[in-house]
Chains A and B, each alone.
Chain A
């Protein structure tokens, strides 16, 4: 039906044109047809001149009133984008584009309700609309207002938010700037499983099940280098995302996750050199290794050894702190190390983290006691750490409440013992105990996660086979095999070839 109106841009009224693409229509049940129609529609709208879009704005016939953002998402996106562009280009920003204004509200409504499948085709519009949110909010002096709409736009487009886009980095910057660490969490918890790659057109188009609108399509398939959803992504962007993400986790005091995020930076491919972000990541990683109890302190194996050596030699002060941290019987040492490096931490912006390390040493000391003792008078602990028994008891109480210790405090009748810290020896008892059912549930959830991840790995593997380099290498290999086969033909003792000849005879 769109074909009929191919040359009708100037003749057909804008509203009519915009309503031509009906994603729910009978004709578009076939995914392949839908794909063609959607592409065609986007191409058509691209050709409409800017002036057209502004006609009848703010009248009852305004297309923005006629169109439903959740149904006519492509059309709505184009219209909205042109309207905002016009507003932003004015000398002073009209009120309607300010947060709370009509246009702003439409933008937010759109980002929260658009049809994700249609937006797979209008990548550029999506990107531009998302990019408007932050400057508008900033301009009004409350950048925090931008977070929710951007995040919703990301999640609607790709529920896994696992295909990396430049929006990811922008979003993280915004969250850190406004200190909205918790707001970043839903995005951070979804791991990055794909980077926008170059998918050959042959693979991209024409197959029933691999068109972007297919139900089974993964975000890595509709967000790619040419889809317009993202600016060009560089390695620095990816690194920055992980470092910023780790910092957000730090803000939430989720040390394990922060440490895992930093490891992503450490394992990035490197031509035997490190860069600043890697150094930054390594420094924080060393400190975090102290805060995460019981984990192996080894650098992931796939990291580039030379690069790691470089960052290590530039982070001596940090390693000294980590080393001092392990001397639980000599706590003043850590304090001395930390005081000695005060300037370094301040310059690197790690003062807060270093302080957290210092605070946690006491905790590590107490939890190490659980490996040695089943019960110990609080006065003994107080003597070792230097403090009164009451203070120590209070401190222990908070540790138990915060879930760091599987233990209880009890009053004994023995006068020399006083208050006693008693650890639960059996892991199935005490406040931190996990029942078998809980364990099973956790295992079950983990299985699901791992399976999903395994699929992502398979996908990544598949994408790898689509790259030019892979194919060229394959070609080269085949050629080499072919060449050696030719050489063998002339060799006098090629048994297999001779046998073939015999068969032919």
Chain B
């Protein structure tokens, strides 16, 4: 069946657009996986899985459509149904329920009118608290129908009528939540910073901390700052798993689960830290252990890396590649993360050797898609991640001999020459300043400067210049 679906119109279109399709079946079970999530992210994840994995497409779309029908987002429903009909036209769920859609559309329109009307009357009455709640309701509403930019706007309008720090924090968290849905990570980051800066005290603050650090990690990961992401994920307290809803949002269900923190944190750490750091900050981190226990293979991969068993580590990770590609946040950055881990493994592997044959390298690190080990090593050497030289004649990877004494001498000489030259430049300036020499603007010509400059170059000079020859 899966091959049928892979050949379906929808996936053919994706292929023609050169978009990602995960062919291998993932290791996880869809039902239990998705049971971890609620709210927007549930549909979002189902949608992502459905559109990327031919293997799970049917189930995922069916679940997503059922889910969508419970909500108010008519457009999302229509989109899901259309995509499913591209995957499996005969499926009963692929029939558009037009009556529901029309009814729902009218309902939401009525609700929007009502909420806007209410807000107007609150504004007339000038009761701050009511205005705040009116805006909040409107924000919730827009969020539900999938109009995130209006939702963002409504939440922003709450600011002027916020009367307590808690209100401010709640509002900012809501903004974070909306921006996560929009996948606009820079906004997420700036709002998280505001949450952090909000003057919350005591329990309120401790309650928010895990949420803030987990979300900061997520935002960093999605824009490719793996080091910062790792630090934030590793600093997330296990309280995140059990924390109560904040601002009406159950973060560990509606944004990212504890398992996600373990996977994201572990991968980001692998991509950005060296062996001793991994040992100390990941494996030796008693807080993060609570997360790692949820995903034992991540823990395994990290210990393998720390024990210099790089190919085994890469094998473990490779086994989960399809799983992670089906993760809505990881899928975009997974290639980079895996690439970094691979490069780091190669660098670490090569450190104790002075010379390795290319064949040995390619057996230890089976070549990735479309690129030979020679090309990969060449690239790594060129961008200076690997300090080595390639011998293409005897097919060797050679660690160049170092001669610190010679290098120090050469560096010293170079530095002295640079210093000498800099000093001469300064001397020229000093002398000219002392003599009162300065390039001054010619009267009234400052605007025409650029235009006229090339013509004003001394004719004599021009003549001389053209006479220069290099034979």
Contacts and interface: CB of A to CB of B under 8 A. Distances in A.
Interface of A: 173, 176-177, 179, 191-197, 233-235, 238, 240, 243-244, 247, 250-251, 253, 260, 263-264, 267-280, 300, 302, 307, 310-311, 313-314, 346-353, 355-356, 371-377, 380, 412, 414, 417, 420, 422-423, 425-428, 434, 436, 439-440, 442-443, 446-447, 449-450, 453-454, 456-457, 460-461, 463-464, 467, 469
B420 A279 contact: no
A277 B457 contact: yes
Contact of A352 (B394, B425, B468): B468
Nearest to A269: B438
Contact of A197 (B378, B382, B434): B434
Given A414-B393, A457-B426, A177 B464 contact: yes
Given A352-B469, A446-B416, A457-B427, A176 B378 contact: no
B393 A193 contact: no
B440 interface: yes
Contacts of A461: 430
Contact of A271 (B413, B431, B441): B441
B413 A442 contact: yes
B467 interface: yes
Contacts of B356: none
A450 B440 CA distance: 32
B389 interface: yes
Contact of A247 (B419, B426, B464): B464
Given A264-B424, A355-B470, 4 more contacts: A196-B435, A243-B461, A269-B437, A279-B453
B416 A447 contact: yes
29 contacts: A235-B438, A238-B432, A244-B464, A247-B468, A253-B470, A268-B432, A269-B438, A270-B438, A272-B441, A279-B453, A302-B429, A310-B450, A347-B454, A349-B466, A374-B396, A376-B390, A417-B392, A420-B393, A426-B400, A436-B405, A436-B406, A436-B409, A439-B413, A446-B416, A453-B420, A456-B427, A460-B430, A461-B430, A464-B434
B423 interface: yes
Given A374-B391, A427-B406, A235 B434 contact: no
A321 B326 CA distance: 45
B165 interface: no
Given A279-B454, A302-B426, A427 B393 contact: no
Contacts of A191: 424, 427
Contact of B419 (A244, A427, A450): A450
Contacts of B407: 427
User: Nearest 5 A-B pairs (CB), nearest first?
Assistant: A349-B465, A374-B389, A270-B439, A235-B437, A276-B457
Interface string B375-387: 0001001100000
B110 interface: no
Given A374-B400, A426-B403, A460 B390 contact: no
A320 to B, nearest CB: 16
B406 A439 contact: yes
Interface of B: 378, 381-382, 389-394, 396, 398, 400-401, 403, 405-407, 409-410, 412-413, 416-417, 419-441, 446, 449-450, 453-454, 456-458, 460-470
B392 A380 contact: yes
Residue of B412, B441, B453 with most chain A CB atoms under a 10 A cut-off: B453
A280 B461 contact: yes
Contacts of B392: 373, 375-377, 380, 417
Contacts of A272: 441
Nearest to B400: A425
Contact of B457 (A271, A280, A351, A417): A280
Contacts of A277: 457-458, 461
A286 to B, nearest CB: 15
B434 A195 contact: yes
Given A267-B425, A273-B440, A463-B434, A374 B390 contact: yes
Given A274-B449, A280-B457, A349-B466, A428 B391 contact: no
A412 B400 CA distance: 22
Nearest to A278: B439
Contacts of B389: 372-374, 423, 425
A311 to B, nearest CB: 8
B427 A453 contact: yes
Overall SS of chain A's interface:
helix
B439 A269 contact: yes
A16 B454 CA distance: 59
Contacts of B467: 176, 179, 349
Contacts of A302: 425-426, 429
Nearest to B414: A294
Contact of A300 (B422, B439, B440): B422
A411 B352 CA distance: 31
Contacts of B434: 195, 197, 460, 463-464, 467
B423 A450 contact: yes
A355 B32 CA distance: 68
B27 to A, nearest CB: 39
B435 A195 contact: yes
Nearest to B434: A464
A463 B427 CA distance: 12
A373 B438 contact: no
A243 B434 CA distance: 21
Contacts of B428: 192, 238, 264, 267-268
Contacts of A238: 428, 432, 437
A428 B465 CA distance: 41
A456 B389 CA distance: 46
A469 B440 CA distance: 19
B425 A457 contact: no
Contacts of B425: 263-264, 267, 300, 302
Contact of A268 (B439, B456, B466, B469): B439
B421 to A, nearest CB: 6
Contacts of B436: 469
B398 A425 contact: yes
A109 B194 CA distance: 84
B150 to A, nearest CB: 43
